Amino acid sequence: MTDPRTWLRGLTPYFIYTLFVATLGPLLFGFHLAELNAPEDVIRCKKGSIRAAAAGLPQCIPMTPTEWGVVGSTYTLGGLIGALSAGPLAGRYGRRRTMLLTTLFFSLGPIFEALTFNISVMAVGRLISGLGAGGSVVVVPIYISEIAPPAEKGFFGTFTQIMCNVGILLTQLLGYFLSRGQSWRIILAVGGAIGVVQGLGLLLTVESPKYVADHGDPVQAKRILRKIRGSNYDVDEEMSAWGVAGTDDPVGEEQALLREEDGTQLRTEPSASKRGSNHEATLSIMQVLRHPDHYRAVIAVIMIMLAQQLSGINSIVMYGVSLLATLLKSNSALLNLAVSALNIIVTAAGAPLVERLGRKTCLLNSLAGMGISSLLLAIGITRSISILSAVAVLLFVASFGLGLGPIPFILSSELVGSEAVGSTQSIALAANWIATFLVAQFFPLASAALHGNVYFIFAALSAFFFLFIGWYVPETKGKKNADEVWGRERLPPLQSPQPFRSPRSDHFNFSDQSLSSESQSRLLPAGTGHIPAPIASQPSHVGPPPSIISPAFTPPATPGTSTPSHPRPPRSVPVDTSLSPETPRPELLETLPVVECEVRARIPTTTGHEMWLHVYRNNVDTKEHLAIVFGNQIRSRSLDAERPGETELDRMTRGAYVGRLYPGRTSSRVEQIKRAETSKSIKPPSVTDSDSTAVASGRRSPSASSTTSSLSGDHAQPTTTTTSTSSLPLVRIHSECYTGETVWSARCDCGEQLDEAARLMADPTLSPSGGCIIYLRQEGRGIGLGEKLKAYNLQDMGHDTYEANIMLRHPADARSYGLATAMLMDLGLGGERGIRLLTNNPDKVRAVEGPGREVVVRERVAMVPLAWRTKGRMGVRGEEVERYLSTKIEKFKHMLSLDSR
């Protein structure tokens, strides 16, 4: 077991305060559950001395056993409704807001109860209080599991049951002193006062950081978690376990849609739109019941919750005084006080056992103890053995507190994934409330008919649940997630299937053993903190690492996850074509083509990243050109635009939606897109504004904003600027190259450059604003694949690329960049804010900007061949590719230096 000294130091006063205020909900659950136990005789007019009615409200309300059972069971009916509603509400609106909602019912219900004058009004009050209690015992365990230190979730999870027991003890204590005259109304009113206190206390608490992170705001989640854990606590490791650290971008898609063009960020509090954006990650109750990964967990938690109630604990909590009154006479109320106190002591003392022995072991021991105690209690009552009955009751409650009391509330969040925890908890507590209703409604009748023999039934049920849990329910102690609990295998996120190994790859070493751990770690999501085994332990003899983009690996032109990385961004130089009007300009189209995005789709990649693939059509050719987008901030305006007659299903089918798709989704949230368009600033920001915002937000250090590294070569000199453009999106204009991307050609480095561009754009530290690859279907610089192969034959006869194109009567570069410019504008990358362009071609900078500088290139980022950067250890090597690169530099004037090889 973890040394308490190691985690007590990590607790903060704010965490303790939050834990206390949240668990006031379970306290009220226990309070209302037992509030009618001690004052039963006074309320029902069973004592002749209290039958007289007082002025205004009656002193007591005569009830038959059946009517008394109805009053008790209406509380469980409200609890059932509250439990079924709380899970979806907690998933949609948040844990804290749902807890605040329960306090309204906790405050309102006792008003009806305390001021009741007949059975109906009391039943209504009990129903309302049950709504709050049902919701509370669903959402509070989830909230605690998400704010508690990861290694001690089991320990702090027991506080749900501990506070339930505190509530029971409180009401029994009040009942012992106030069960006379009309003072019983004070007992019922105290619950309302506690509900008001909890409501006020929750105003000073925070939302669950995991909920905030899961709903698209890891930046705010990190702030909340640091507030809970303290400023000296390393929150990155904890967040990485949630799977949100190092995501594509810390700014969610919805926040990006609603931000202004000047780069200022909206408040990072979870908004309604943000809550809705990730609703697709939360499964409904019906989806959980039908899901192949979750239905076994649902059966397990239902049976555990049934075991908790049908083992007979509430027969003692709700009816212990009347049950033992004839046997123990005046000592029955004192025994119930002792029972409630013992329940708290045992549950608190046994809390560490949950982590030490395991959940399943504690459950089985608890059931065994309760079954034996039930047998002893049955014998004690039927044979009027007072001492045996008292001891049996104490052992019964002690056994319950060691396992079956706290653990069911913990298991619901450990047997399923985060997407199903809310609905599973609702299902579990619904089963719990149904069982509580059965006990509350029928135990008085069964007890009247069978007397002590009723506990033989509870003993038999304990034996049945002991066998079932031992056979069916898995142990969750020490398991990282639900997949590990149930033995389901999942492909690790950064592990890719090994590609077929080409004989040609034997000549190359694709695993750079000299690559440092620090460099490798830069390829992983930020905050991961370690190198996953599939990368760290990858032997050097395996084939080339998988490509992030190419449909087939390109030996050896696929950097993939093993691309060397450096502590600094790629070499780059600032550019401003407006300052050099004398520079010869390429021939540009007078007007840009009309482009329209037909469809987009989310594409998960073999490296664990995600990209959004957009298909474009235009009015100048019949080809489907592509935009490969990384990050959530870049969206197509033509795709998002409403089209006449289309339905919500049509919009989602073509990809015009916000957030993520999920089974059962019915809305594309087009209204959110409209609001984003209308909220944009009229004046675009300058580069200085953008960079100062990046520095202020912590994405870049001030020192990093003062200088940029220069490109080594004849055409690029070291440059010092006062601002940095590293927060601008990266853009790569790439032309289709079947030979270089698919059939492993070593005549060019096209496949390598495509993969390198994708690697840079997918790294949030190198490209915090994401990026876009414009993939033009212009094979062979626009001449087509057939003509390109002819050019290859001419190269084999001694001609270079430039000469081969001229001999075939093709221009050196037949591509049209107007399509790229129009597509960038449609993606919102036009305007003065600017982009960073990945290219070595000086003509491409001006060509991409368009005839009226519709797109502004602020910085040119060098695309240095991988073999040159690694001194030949990696990348495309060979005589053909060296001639190809030499021709680019010497005749196409690409801005690279042959001396840097």
Amino acid letter for position 668: S
CA 443 to chain centre: 43
Measured CA to CA, the distance from residue 311 to residue 59 in angstroms comes to 35
The string of DSSP letters for 434-497 reads: HHHHHHHHHHHHHHHHHGGGHHHHHHHHHHHHHHHHHHHPPP-TT-SSHHHHHT-----TT--P
Beta strands in 314-385 (DSSP E): none
Q: Report DSSP state, residue 614.
A: E
Distance CA 77, CA 84 (A): 11
Identify each DSSP E strand in 61-197 by its residue range: none
To 5 degrees, how large is the angle CA 387–CA 392–CA 393? 100
Q: Are strands 610-618 and 625-630 parallel, antiparallel or unpaired?
A: antiparallel
383: Cβ contacts below 8 Å, ≥ 6 apart: none
Report the Cα–Cα distance between both ends of the chain, in Å, rounded: 57
Give the residue from 331, 293, 245 showing the smallest Cα distance to 424. Answer: 293
Rounded to an integer, what distance in angstroms lies between the CA atom of residue 174 and that of residue 74? 22
C-alpha span between 777 and 626 (Å, rounded): 8
Active site (annotated) includes residue 815? yes
Dig out the tokens for 393 from the structure: 């009751």
- 250-287 in b/e form (b: 16+ CB < 10 A) is bbbbbbbbbbbbbbeeeebebbebbbbbbbbbbbbbeb
Active-site choice (126, 275, 635, 815): 815
Asked if 307 contacts 404 with a C-beta cutoff of 8 angstroms, the reply is: yes
Q: Is 836 a catalytic residue?
A: no
The one catalytic residue in 600, 813, 846, 860 is 813
> Pick from 882, 874, 881: which is nearest to 898 by CA?
882
In the block, tokens 């039958």 appear at: 51
The burial of 496, by beta-carbon neighbours within 10 Å (0-12 exposed, 13-18 middle, 19 or more buried), is given as buried
Per-residue burial over 596-610, b = 16 or more CB atoms within 10 Å of its CB, e = otherwise: bbebbeeeebbbbbb
In this structure, what token pair is assigned to residue 310? 């049908």
- Count of other CB atoms within 10 angstroms of residue 59: 18
Q: What does the alpha-carbon distance between residue 537 and residue 515 come to, in Å, rounded to a whole number?
A: 13
Please report how many Cα atoms fall inside a 13 Å half-sphere around the Cα of residue 888, on the Cβ side: 24
Single-letter amino acid code for the residue at 417: G
Three-state DSSP state, 630? strand
Give dist(CA 83, CA 166) in Å, integer: 21
Kindly provide the b/e burial profile for residues 76-89, where b requires at least 16 CB atoms within 10 angstroms of the residue's own CB: bbbbbbbbbbbbbb
Q: Which of 38, 15, 24, 17 is nearest to 193 (CA)?
A: 24
What Rg value do the Cα atoms of the chain yield, rounded?
35
Q: What is the DSSP track for 557-606? A: ---GGG----SSPPPEEE--GGG-TTSPPPP--SSPPPEEEEEEEEEE-T
Which residues is 860 bridged to in the sheet? 573, 837
Q: In what order do the strands lie in the sheet with 572-574?
A: 572-574, 855-861, 831-838, 730-735, 771-776, 625-630, 610-618, 595-604
Q: Cα torsion at 529, 531, 533, 536 (round to 10°)?
A: -160
Active-site residue list: 813, 815
